[in-house]
Amino acid sequence: MTGARQAAGALAAAALFAGLAAAVALGRTQRADDALRRRQRHPRRGAARNAALVVKVVGAPNVQWPVAAAIALSLGDAGVPNAASVLAAAGSVFVLDKACKVLIHRHRPPGYVGNETLESFPSGHTAAVSALGITLAQIMERAGMVRPPLATLAAVILALGVAESRLLLDEHWPADVLGGALLGTATALAVLSVAD
């Protein structure tokens, strides 16, 4: 994907995110979120819950920082172009996610157990994994380390898994994980377009 196409993709994802954020802030997604939440399983124990708890740790934004730094250093040492973009994407999406949470103040779903009750939109886990995964995938595909679009497909599948874990644990509304995916995608593509 060229820099111009990445910039266009970043703008499209950012516009979709902005529209969704406005709808969430105005309460326009709540009915759909409630209906979708009722259809989602929320197991209190078992293999699915345990897997979701592991994914929660792996996808945590504060875990993504050291992972991104290690990946950027490794790729940089190997001479892979734009390796620093991995860390730039992780840092950028972290800041953007926190800013959105401050502006929107959305309540978490009723099953949420934690202190950050007004930090539901967007899902930081989904945003972090999307930004890191897409950035890394594009860098690896461009460097010829992986055949396109294998790495990008793997990044999307990983982000979907993290999004599902957030819903299964009842820690986010469906619009939150969609918002996280859009924010992460927009961030990754913006960082990559600047790196080109």
Q: Return the minimum-mean-pLDDT range out of 71-80, 109-118, 184-193.
A: 109-118
List CB contacts of 153: < 8 A, sequence separation 6 or more.
none
196 pLDDT band, cuts 50/70/90, is confident
| Structure-block tokens of residue 157 | 């599948």
Helix (H, G, I), strand (E, B), or coil: what is residue 112?
A: coil
Give the pLDDT confidence score for residue 1 in this predicted structure: 63
Per-residue CA distances from 93 to 35, 62, 72, 125, 131 (Å)? 29, 12, 16, 10, 7
Measured between alpha carbons, how far is 88 from 132 in angstroms, rounded to an integer?
9
Res. 86 pLDDT band, cuts 50 70 90: very high
CA distances in angstroms from 163 to 103, 131, 144, 174, listed in the order given:
22, 13, 29, 9
- List, for residues 132-173, the tens digit of each pLDDT value: 999 999 999 999 999 999 999 999 999 999 999 999 999 999
The pLDDT of residue 95 = 95
pTM for this model (two decimals): 0.95
Q: Is the Cα torsion angle 3, 4, 5, 7 positive or negative in sign?
A: positive
Give how many domains the chain has, as a whole number.
1
Q: What proportion of the chain, given as a percentage, has pLDDT over 70? A: 99
| Res 143: pLDDT | 94
Domain region containing 163: 3-195
Overall average pLDDT of the 83-102 stretch: 96
The Cα–Cα gap between 93 and 126 comes to 10
First to last CA, the chain: 10
- pLDDT reported for residue 116: 85
Smallest Cα–Cα separation from 163: which of 105, 117, 122? 122
